[in-house]
Amino acid sequence: MRNRNTRGVHLYLTNIYIDDTGFKVKIKFWGCRGSIPVPDSRMIKYGGDTTCVEVQLDTKTLIIDAGTGIRKLGEKLIKNNVTDFDIFITHSHWDHIQGFPFFEPIYSDKTNINIFGCTNSYKQLKSIFSEQMSYEYFPVSFSDLKSKISFLEACGKQYDIDGHAVKVLRTNHPIFTIGLRVEKGGKSFVFITDNEIASDKPDITREELVNFCQGANCLVHDAQFTDEEYKKRKGWGHSTYEQVIQLAKDSKAQSVGFFHHDPNRKDEDLNKIENRYKKMCKDAGYGFDVFAVKEFDEIEL
């Protein structure tokens, strides 16, 4: 069951034993905007870069998505001489891959990258990445990159990355999209972007979603729309703040972060939203913290 071509990444579809000695997970958000980057002075506090999350698993670096936020992460990795890491691509919509050509480590012959993605409903992941670097769009060809890049399938249910369990769940989005749960030693981080909780044609059941998020120390979930906005945007593959709060309540998450901020959502808007739901959850006694994710936010579990 092991794929021997993944440089230390073991792929499993059954339960695995995890050694939890001294485990810590550190999470840093390098981009949390949805749809398109917004270089706007009204959006400084929460940031304008699109999706990219760094998850430090003991000595291993795991990256989720390659939106424009990955450019700044690349600078850090180069500075710290990090040359071996894994990238999980939730799906191929442009706000989740458009930063890749500007990711400095891919131009170094010292870099080894595993890129995971599930392409059941669209072209192979390697083709998507190489075509966005064709000369019509970018001056450097994918074939000219010096780094060693392996493309691997993330269509299973569970993976072992150097002793850390990474679980995968399909989400409700117009194309095949995955959410991730990273866990070890009783600690867990769940990241689900681009998921329509109240989809009329769901690819996952409500029960599956709740079980996937169950007891998460930190649940970060797509919350692009208000309830009023959602009325006109059903089927777009995104959720509302109210829906995410209910999911956190049902799954007994310990904290919940709103993510994939609408490109029109200004800092003052997100401040009000965060304060409103903090108060609502506190008054209701839900027992979990609420926050709107900001660029450069760091969380340690």
19 domain-assigned: no
Which residues in the chain belong to E strands, given as ranges? 9-12, 25-31, 52-57, 60-64, 84-88, 112-117, 148-153, 158-161, 164-170, 178-184, 187-192, 218-222, 255-259, 289-292, 298-300
103 domain-assigned: yes
The rounded distance, in Å, linking the Cα atoms of 84 and 60 is: 8
State which residues form the domain around 238: 24-293
52 domain-assigned: yes
The rounded distance, in Å, linking the Cα atoms of 277 and 79 is: 38
299 domain-assigned: no
Domain count, the chain: 1
**What mean pLDDT comes out for the span 275-300?**
97
198 domain-assigned: yes
CATH code where residue 118 lies: 3.60.15.10
300 domain-assigned: no
9 domain-assigned: no
Task: Determine the 3-state secondary structure of 206 from DSSP.
Answer: helix
Q: Are 178 and 154 in contact (CB under 8 A)?
A: yes
Give tens-digit pLDDT for 223-253. Answer: 999 999 999 999 999 999 999 999 999 999 9
Give tens-digit pLDDT for 187-224. Answer: 999 999 999 999 999 999 999 999 999 999 999 999 99
The rounded distance, in Å, linking the Cα atoms of 154 and 244 is: 25
Confidence band, pLDDT 50/70/90 cuts, at residue 7: very low
